[in-house]
Each structure stands twice: as structure tokens, then as C-alpha cells.
Amino acid sequence: MTERKIKVIKLIYDNPGLTGNKLYKEARSQGYGIKKSDFYQTLRTIRKLPEPTIEKKEKAVPIRYRKPTKPIITIKDIPIPKKEGSYGIILIEAEDDVGNEKEFWIKYDTRKSLKNQLDKLKKKYKAKVKQISFEGFGKYTEFIDAEFTKLLKSVGIDL
């Protein structure tokens, strides 16, 4: 066991009345803090506390990073990317003509491209859409790096 962890364990035993957050702040202020998840795992084992439930873990994730819980069913509700070089991603849960459940991912940049891809998907797989979930926006990265542009300029090509 590391020296820091031993000091943290001693701090927890010396202060039984303090809450976990106050103990963590105290450990950090004294300069022997450890990784937050390791600290709380140690605290739970020493105080014989249960592991946090799935609901509590989900609640701990900040709202901006949570995945939407309500699936979107209509295409009109799906947001369209406004910035140049960005795209949207949706997950489609569908059922084919035999009854097998399938998942499809669509990457789109306009409402028209979204509708076209969805129509192709329905036609090719004879899929009946059950649920559409918006998964967020992505951004294309530039594949031309500085060295390549220098090389092109040395040859006489300007971009």
C-alpha cells in the first residue's frame, strides 16, 4: 500500500464524524490526496457502506454529458447541425420484414440527407423503424496538416 493511501486511511479513522466530501477536501488540503474514485472506494470499505446504485451513478453525470433518455420518434424533432464541417449522428432501432431487431447508425449534415439515407435504409433492409435516438454532433477534422501545405507551397501549389 502506498504511503498516501495509508495517510488517507488514518485520516478517515481519526475523523469518524466528517462526511466523505469533507474528508476528501481535507486529504487534498494536507497534500496526500489520492484519486477521487480510489478515495471513495477506501471510505466505503472502512465505513462498510454499500456501493452506489446505478441511479446514483447516473445522477452524478453532469446534465450536458447525459444521453437523452427519451427516444425521438419523428424526424422533425432531430436537430440539424448549423456549423460548417459538423454532422449529426442518430441511432435507429428497427425491425426487418422477418421480425429481427436491428440497429442502424446514420451520419447526416442536412435534413434532406437524413431523409434520403433513412429512405434507402427502409428500402434496402425493408426495415420498420421503431425508435430513433439522437446521439449528438460530431465535427470533421482537417486532414491537411501544416507540413503538407509547406510541401505544396514549395512545389508552387497554393490552397
pLDDT given at position 117: 92
Percent of the chain clearing pLDDT 90 (strictly above): 33
SS3 11: helix
pLDDT given at position 22: 93
For 9-54, how does the pLDDT look when each residue is reduced to its tens digit (9 = 90+)? 999 999 989 999 999 999 999 988 789 889 999 999 999 999 888 8
Alpha-carbon distance 31 to 8, whole Å? 10
60 versus 86: which is more confidently predicted?
A: 86
**Is residue 5 packed enough to be buried (19+ CB in 10 Å), middle (13-18) or exposed (0-12)?**
middle
For 101-130, how does the pLDDT look when each residue is reduced to its tens digit (9 = 90+)? 889 999 999 999 999 999 998 888 888 888
Residue pair 8/42 in contact (Cβ under 8 Å)? The answer is yes
Rounded mean pLDDT of the chain?
Answer: 86
Residue pair 138/89 in contact (Cβ under 8 Å)? The answer is yes
Whether residue 73 has pLDDT greater than 70: no
- Cell 449529426 belongs to 88
